[in-house]
Amino acid sequence: MRRRTMTNLILPKDYNAKLSLRETQRAIKIVKDNFQRKLSSELNLDRVTAPVIVTKSSGINDDLSGVERKVEFDVGATGEVAEIVQSLAKWKRMALYRYGYEPGEGIYTDMNAVRRDDKMDNLHSLFVDQWDWEKVISRSERNEEFLKDTVRKIVKAAADTQEVLCEAFPALEKTIERDVFFITSQELEDMYPNLTDKEKEDAITKEHKTVFLMQIGKVLKSGKPHDGRAPDYDDWTLNGDILVWNDVLGRSVELSSMGIRVDKESLRSQLQEKDALDRMKFDYHKMIDDETLPLTIGGGIGQSRLCMQMLQRAHIGEVQVSVWSEDMRKECMENGIFLL
């Protein structure tokens, strides 16, 4: 049983964390240390450092679904306006070009961001921590099968990490199914025409446990996309979300948003669809248009969400430190959920 509250929390009945606070911290380290090593090995990625702030004029900050406000401030030393990153989708592709990476090679980084307009609930925090990764690919690899193969490797890295964690803490159960079920957003809409988008995700993930929902951002037969995606990083025909079923919350959890990135044709097409061709003035967009930047695949994998899933916790605030309302803290404490 679970119930929702006025603060949009899901409060599982008789919830009891399986690890102590100190054990939780050790478990988080096991997850993060092992997963990034396994991800790096599976996808052939080097770890690199990455920015927390970028200049507004660069146009390199991630626009997410295109409506979120960025945290910005003026830089006293230069007079420019800077922004705290929302993710590093564009920066990573630029970095691969600048650092001279070749097809089959890539990078990953610890990305810390602030998303001021994100709601706060069991899965959402104003503070975002994820592994952002990007890899150079060839023109022949810009296809669905290559995308699916990459998804399977990421899920394998997660499932292998889960094995290590459960060996260290036998009280924990395995929560990530290795076998991935692939489905497009249009197929999902056709399957559940009367459900909301979130209800559709829950229904398919409850059945298949680990799901890759593909082609997010493109307009469906219903006249709207399944979910919003910025037009200038993922190719909407070659992207998707990794979803896993969470028994504690009784719902699906998105662990990763990823995809093969836009080439010059899909960039212009998607910008035109969103009436955003003015973005072609930015260097990043020009470098895709003139094919200076390499073709890539990439994404972000939520660090705290992965820890939350594997540690079987009810709230993301149990595995990361962030800002929460007093009402939420009180409700959580009354229901056995201790926010860090």
- Annotated catalytic sites, by residue? 62, 115, 130, 241, 254, 257
Residues forming a β-bridge with 136: 296
Burial of 171 (0-12, 13-18, 19+ CB in 10 A): exposed
Overall residue count recorded for the chain in this entry: 340
Cα pseudo-dihedral 264, 269, 274, 280, rounded to 10: 30
**Helix, strand, or coil (residue 37):** helix
- Asked if 263 and 295 touch (Cβ cutoff 8 Å), the reply is yes
Q: Which two tokens stand for residue 142?
A: 């810009």
- Asked if 222 and 204 touch (Cβ cutoff 8 Å), the reply is no
Q: Which two tokens stand for residue 90?
A: 């564009």
- Asked if 133 and 106 touch (Cβ cutoff 8 Å), the reply is yes
Q: How far is CA 37 from CA 135, 140, 256, 337, in A?
A: 16, 28, 17, 30
Q: Which two tokens stand for residue 337?
A: 């959920």
**What distance in Å separates the CA atoms of residue 212 and residue 74, rounded to the nearest whole number?**
40
**What distance in Å separates the CA atoms of residue 316 and residue 304, rounded to the nearest whole number?**
6
Q: What is the DSSP letter of 244?
A: E
